[in-house]
Amino acid sequence: MHDVVYVLVYGVIFASLYGIMTVGFSLICGLGGFYDITLPAYLMVGAFALVKLSPYLSHWSVVVVAIGMGALCLGHYYVFIRPQRENPYRVFLATILLALGVESVMAILFTYGYTFKLSPMLPGSVDLLGVAVRRELVLGGIIGWVALFALRYLSAHTNMGRAIIAIPQSTRGSQVVGLDVVKIQMLVYFMGGLLLGIGAYFYGGYIGVSVHMWVYPMIIMFTITTLGGLGSIKGIMYATLLVGLLEVGVVTFIDPRLREFIILGVAVVFLIYRPRGIAGARIG
C-alpha cells in the first residue's frame, strides 16, 4: 500500500515538473507543426547557468535564468527557426544538429561525466500521506500545477490564448482572420523559455546537472505532446499526470532503466491508435 501512495505522491509532483517543461515545447509544436529538439538541450543550458549563478545570486538566480532562457529561446526562434519554419523536416534536422552542438559546448565548458548539484531553496523534507518528499519538490509541484492551471485559464479567456489554441487547428484559417502567426510563435517561444528556466531549476535540482540530462526530458516532452495532443493545454495536463504516474510506477515496480522504453511505447501506441492524442490536433 505504501508503494502505491508513493507512486501517487511522486507521480503528481513529477507530472507538474514535466508539465512546465513540456508546455512550451507542445505549444511550439502545435503552432509551427514541427519538433524543435533544441528546447530540451536549452533545459540543460539553463541548469548549468543555475550552477554558475546560484553561488552569487542565491534564489534570484532562478528568476534571472528564467528570463535569460526566455530571451535565449526568443533569439533561437528568430535566428534559426523563423527563416525555415515552413519546412518542418529542415527544422527537425537542423535542431537535432544544434542540440548536439549545444551538448558538445557544454561538455567542453563543464567536466564531462560529472554531475553538479544545485543547492536547494528549501532544505529538508515534509511528510505527505506517509511519504517523505523534499520541500523543494513540493514547491516545484505547486508552482508547476499553478502554472498549468493559469495557462489553461489564459488560453480559454484571452484573445492571445484563444489564438494559440486556434492556430494548430488551421494555420491558414488563422492567418485569414488576421492572426500574426510569427508574433504568436515568438511569444510562445519566450513563454516556453521562461518555463524551461523554472523547470531547469527543479528538474536539475532533483536529478543533478550533467551534460546528458536533456535526453530523458526530450522523451518526456515528446510523449506528453503526443498523448496530450498538439496545442492543447488541457491535453498536456492529463498527459503529464499519466506520464508522471507511469514513470514513477515503472521505476518503483519494474526497472528504472526500462522507463524510457515503456514511456516511448505508450507514445507509439497513441500515435498509431489515436494520433490526435487525448485532446488535440492530429500530428504528422
Partner 1 sequence: MSRDFYGWIATLVVLVAVVLVMQGQLSFVITASLFAVFAMSWSFFTSFSGYLNLGHVIFIGLAGYSSAILNYHLGWPMWLCMVLGVVIGTGGGWLYLYPIHRRITGLSFEMVSFLSIVALSNLVVSGLARPVTGGDIGLSPLDGLYSTMPLAVALAVLVCGFGFWYTRYLKSGSGKIVDFARENPGIVRSAGADPHRYTGRLLLLSGLLASIGGVLYVAFTGAAVVSNTFALGLMIRIVVMAIIGGRFSLRGSILGAYLVVFLGMVLMPYVDAFVQFLIIYAIGFVIYFVRPRGLVSVFDGLLERLPWAGRPSHAEKGL
Rule CB under 8 A: which residues touch partner 1? 33-35, 88-90, 92-94, 96-98, 100-101, 104-105, 107-108, 112, 215-216, 218-219, 222, 226, 255, 257-258, 260-261, 264-265, 267-268, 271-272, 275, 283-284
Give CA–CA dist 227/243, Å, rounded. Answer: 9
Least CB distance to partner 1 at residue 1 (A): 26
Nearer to partner 1, 194 or 248 (CB): 248
Q: CB of 241 within 8 A of CB of 11?
A: yes
Question: In the complex with partner 1, which residue's Cβ is closer, 112 or 153?
Answer: 112
Among 20, 79, 27, 72, CA closest to 46: 72
The CA radius of gyration of the chain, in Å to the nearest whole number, is 18
Q: How far is the CB of 56 from partner 1 (least distance, A)?
A: 27
User: How far, in Å, are 36, 163, 254, 257, 284 from residue 261 at the CA level?
Assistant: 21, 35, 12, 8, 22
The answer to whether 284 touches 89, Cβ cutoff 8 Å, is no
Residue 104 or 115 having the CB closest to partner 1: 104
Q: Give the shortest CB-167-to-partner 1 separation in angstroms.
A: 17
> Quick one: 5 or 100, whose CB is closer to partner 1?
100
Residue 263: CB minimum distance to partner 1, A: 8
Query: To the nearest whole angstrom, how small is the minimum distance from the Cβ of residue 92 to partner 1?
Result: 6
Q: How far apart are CA 12 and CA 230, in angstroms?
A: 22
Q: Which is closer to partner 1, CB of 118 or CB of 250?
A: 250
Shortest Cβ 77–partner 1 spacing (Å): 16
Nearer to partner 1, 72 or 94 (CB): 94
CA atoms within 13 A on the CB side of 92: 9
Q: Looking at the chain, list the stretches that DSSP marks H as alpha helix, in order from N- to C-terminal side.
A: 2-32, 38-57, 60-76, 88-109, 135-157, 159-169, 171-176, 181-207, 215-228, 233-253, 259-273
- From the CB of 103, what's the least distance to partner 1, in Å? 8
**Which residues face 116 on adjacent strands?**
209
- Are residues 19 and 148 in contact, defined by beta-carbon separation less than 8 angstroms? yes
Residue 199 is placed in which grid cell? 523547470
Whichever of 64 and 264 has its CB closer to partner 1, that residue is: 264
